[in-house]
């Protein structure tokens, strides 16, 4: 039985391992490798620019409450009281300056998981995993599916200013009365009010958009280069489909693919493509915008 599992693992590695090779092997097209980097860097920049960080008083107040928890767990009541008093003062200062504050972003984390392969490799992995599951080789199938991520994960934490400062103030009152355990319990409960939102931005969509924009900038005489870029863009959209990223906006993805196909036919024909490029870029901009709005929907303006 051990031999069979080991053999299955080796087969999976041999068949699927190529997907995680270097970018040069997995994506031989230099334009694709370049577009991936450009797309990731561009989106990171836009996400950071759109993130509205909390006023420093709120950040400091939140940090003070974390310190207070640490002090209380260490039985340092004096320092815990100081931290809670500081937190209350900071929160009050922020609310006095802006009484309308409600859900305020505290932090944003961006994690990128790149899949350095094309749509065909994803399909190959899915077929392999399906066959493994059919043989109840589930653990190997999980290893095969694990690398199938091509996304930017944007995680935002926000503090509810109508709840969190009240809990902090109440915890200080309880602590002043000598109930250390109750104060610590209240602070732990208040942490549960922190809102965490995670949004996934599919990298194939961003890369396809960059490839189309690159094709649009080429001279019309460079038909083959333009077609190569558009073929890569279509493959990225197909990869997004195989990776399961198209569910929410399936019609929009299909429309993008249709528009690219129409553009390719026009390039091969009369090559009057300006309006087609404009329409395609507008469609990409709309879909990317929707995905980006998803990542910022809970941020206070």
What would the 3-class secondary structure string for 222-250 be?
A: CHHHHHHHHHHHHHHHHHHHHCCCCCCCH
Tokens of 10: 């080796």
**Contact between 223 and 268 (Cβ < 8 Å):** yes
pLDDT above 70 coverage of the chain, percent:
87
Name the region of 178 (left: φ>0; alpha: ψ -120 to 50; beta: rest): left
Q: Which residues of 52-61 are buried (b: 16+ CB within 10 A; e: fewer)?
A: eebbebbbbb
Residue 226 in this model has a pLDDT that exceeds 60 = yes
Tokens of 237: 């959209």
> Is the entire prediction scored with pTM above 0.75?
yes
Predicted local confidence at residue 7, as pLDDT = 44
Predicted local confidence at residue 202, as pLDDT = 94
DSSP annotation of 18 reads G
User: Can you tell me the distance from the alpha carbon of 123 to that of 106, in angstroms, rounded to the nearest whole number?
Assistant: 40
Name the region of 57 (left: φ>0; alpha: ψ -120 to 50; beta: rest): alpha
User: Can you tell me the distance from the alpha carbon of 33 to that of 246, in angstroms, rounded to the nearest whole number?
Assistant: 22
The mean pLDDT of 78-102, rounded to a whole number, is: 95
| pLDDT tens-digit series, residues 174-220 | 999 999 999 999 999 999 999 999 888 999 999 999 999 999 988 88
**3-class SS of residue 167:** helix
pLDDT band at 299 (very low <50, low <70, confident <90, very high): very low
Predicted local confidence at residue 68, as pLDDT = 96
DSSP annotation of 53 reads P
User: Can you tell me the distance from the alpha carbon of 191 to that of 182, in angstroms, rounded to the nearest whole number?
Assistant: 15
The mean pLDDT of 250-261, rounded to a whole number, is: 93
The mean pLDDT of 230-236, rounded to a whole number, is: 95
Residue 25 in this model has a pLDDT that exceeds 90 = no
The strand pairing partners of 256, in sequence order, are none
Residue 91 in this model has a pLDDT that exceeds 80 = yes
| pLDDT tens-digit series, residues 144-174 | 999 999 999 999 999 999 999 999 999 999 9
Tokens of 218: 């080429």
pLDDT band at 3 (very low <50, low <70, confident <90, very high): very low
């Amino acid at each position: 039985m051990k031999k069979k599992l080991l053999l299955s693992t080796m087969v999976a590695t041999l068949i699927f391992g190529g997907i995680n090779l270097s970018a040069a092997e997995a994506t031989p097209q230099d334009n694709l490798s370049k577009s991936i980097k450009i797309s990731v860097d561009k989106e990171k920049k836009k996400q950071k620019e759109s993130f509205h960080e909390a006023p420093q008083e709120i950040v400091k107040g939140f940090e003070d409450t974390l310190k207070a928890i640490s002090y209380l767990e260490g039985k340092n009541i004096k320092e815990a009281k100081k931290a809670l008093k500081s937190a209350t003062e900071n929160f009050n200062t922020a609310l006095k300056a802006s009484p309308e504050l409600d859900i305020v972003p505290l932090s944003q984390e961006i994690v990128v998981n790149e899949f350095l392969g094309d749509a065909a490799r994803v399909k190959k992995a899915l077929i392999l995993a399906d066959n493994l599951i059919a043989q109840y080789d589930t653990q190997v199938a999980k290893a095969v599916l694990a690398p199938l991520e091509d996304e930017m994960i944007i995680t935002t934490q926000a503090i509810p200013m109508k709840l969190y400062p009240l809990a902090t103030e109440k915890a200080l009152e309880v602590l002043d009365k000598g109930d250390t355990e109750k104060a610590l319990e209240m602070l732990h409960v208040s942490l549960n009010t922190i809102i965490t939102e995670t949004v996934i931005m599919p990298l194939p969509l961003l890369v396809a958009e960059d490839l189309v924009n690159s094709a649009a900038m080429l001279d019309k005489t460079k038909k083959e280069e333009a077609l190569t870029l558009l073929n890569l863009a279509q493959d990225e959209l197909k990869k997004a489909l195989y990776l399961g990223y198209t569910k929410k906006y399936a019609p929009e993805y299909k429309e993008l693919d249709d528009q690219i196909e129409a553009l390719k036919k026009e390039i091969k024909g009369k090559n009057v493509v300006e309006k087609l490029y404009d329409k395609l870029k507008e469609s990409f901009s709309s879909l990317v915008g929707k995905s980006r709005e998803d990542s910022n929907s809970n941020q206070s303006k």
